[in-house]
């Protein structure tokens, strides 16, 4: 446990995510935009069909306008992410505290303001996709200063070794736990051993997405 301190049975460590190499937040933004665009692309033709005003020519005209706009918004999203990463010095910094009862994910002060904004986006995509996990995580990120997972309530634990990430999930909450490679197996094994109701999925690094 090279980077972990044991204080009276509580394991504490900090982790810095390189936002240029690990783009989980940007991937979330892309997913949100894609869901919104797909919803628009499906809804407008359906409304036109129901109202009796649908035609292939009008659909083609709509697509010629919509697709360039969507691509432009993706570009703006990418630039916004880069600006966000720059504002944090390219690093997301978090502290983790773990004991036999659960694990706490605590963003540093500067990251908390950004987490609230990302949380609001996560709530939006959660409602649009009917994903309660995204809704729950979004509420926590938007309103809380930390995300706490009680082990007895955890339903699944999934590894993402390529990104030093362990996903600790409730039905309505996804908690992303980061650990350094030299400490990763210890943190994962500890979490897995203390989550009696959880489905454990340990994927090899080569199979991570």
Beta strands in 19-136 (DSSP E): 91-98, 102-107
How many separate helices (H) and strands (E) can be counted in the chain?
Answer: 5, 9
Cα separation of 162 and 181, whole Å?
Answer: 9
The pTM (predicted TM-score) of the whole model is 0.63
The reported pLDDT for the residue numbered 203 is 86
The reported pLDDT for the residue numbered 101 is 97
**What is residue 48's three-state secondary structure?**
helix
| Distances in whole angstroms, Cα of residue 155 to Cα of each of 3, 102, 174 | 27, 13, 10
The reported pLDDT for the residue numbered 150 is 95
Burial 14-47 (b: 16+ CB within 10 A, else e): ebebebeebbebbebbeebbebebeeebeeeeee
The reported pLDDT for the residue numbered 102 is 97
Torsion-angle region of residue 9: left (phi > 0), alpha (psi -120 to 50) or beta? left
The reported pLDDT for the residue numbered 109 is 57
The reported pLDDT for the residue numbered 100 is 96
First-to-last alpha carbon distance for the chain, in angstroms, is 26
Q: For every residue of 145-199, which 3-state class applies, written as one string?
A: CCEEEEHHHCCEEEEEHHHCEEEEECCCCEEEEECCHHHHHHHHHHHHHCCCCCE
The reported pLDDT for the residue numbered 33 is 73
Cα separation of 114 and 19, whole Å?
Answer: 13
Q: Output the tens digit of pLDDT for each of the chain's 209 residues.
A: 789 999 999 999 999 988 777 776 677 667 767 877 888 888 888 888 888 888 888 888 888 888 888 888 778 777 777 776 777 778 888 899 999 999 999 887 555 555 555 665 666 656 655 555 555 555 545 445 678 999 999 999 999 998 899 999 987 677 889 999 999 999 999 999 999 999 999 988 755 54
Torsion of CA 34, 39, 44, 50, to 10 degrees: 150
Closest-CA residue to 10 (of 129, 137, 95): 95
The reported pLDDT for the residue numbered 67 is 86
| Distances in whole angstroms, Cα of residue 79 to Cα of each of 74, 75, 84 | 9, 6, 9
């Amino acid at each position: 446990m090279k980077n972990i301190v044991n204080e009276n049975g509580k394991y504490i460590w900090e982790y810095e995510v390189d936002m240029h190499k690990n783009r989980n937040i940007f991937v979330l933004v892309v997913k949100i935009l894609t869901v919104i665009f797909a919803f628009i692309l499906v809804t407008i033709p359906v409304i036109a069909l129901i109202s009796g005003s649908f035609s292939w020519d009008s659909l083609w005209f709509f697509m010629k306008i919509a697709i360039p706009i969507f691509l432009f918004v993706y570009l703006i999203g990418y630039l916004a992410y880069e600006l966000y990463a720059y504002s944090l010095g390219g690093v997301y910094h978090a502290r983790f505290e773990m004991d036999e009862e659960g694990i706490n994910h605590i963003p540093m002060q500067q990251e908390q303001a950004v987490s609230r904004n990302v949380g609001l986006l996560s709530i939006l995509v959660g409602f649009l996709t009917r994903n309660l996990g995204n809704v729950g995580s979004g509420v926590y990120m938007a309103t809380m200063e930390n995300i706490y997972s009680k082990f007895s309530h955890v339903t699944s634990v999934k590894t993402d070794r390529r990104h030093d990430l362990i996903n600790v999930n409730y039905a309505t909450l996804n908690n992303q736990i980061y650990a350094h490679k030299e400490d990763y197996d210890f943190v994962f094994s500890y979490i897995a051993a203390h989550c009696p109701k959880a489905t454990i999925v340990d994927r090899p690094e080569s199979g991570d997405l």
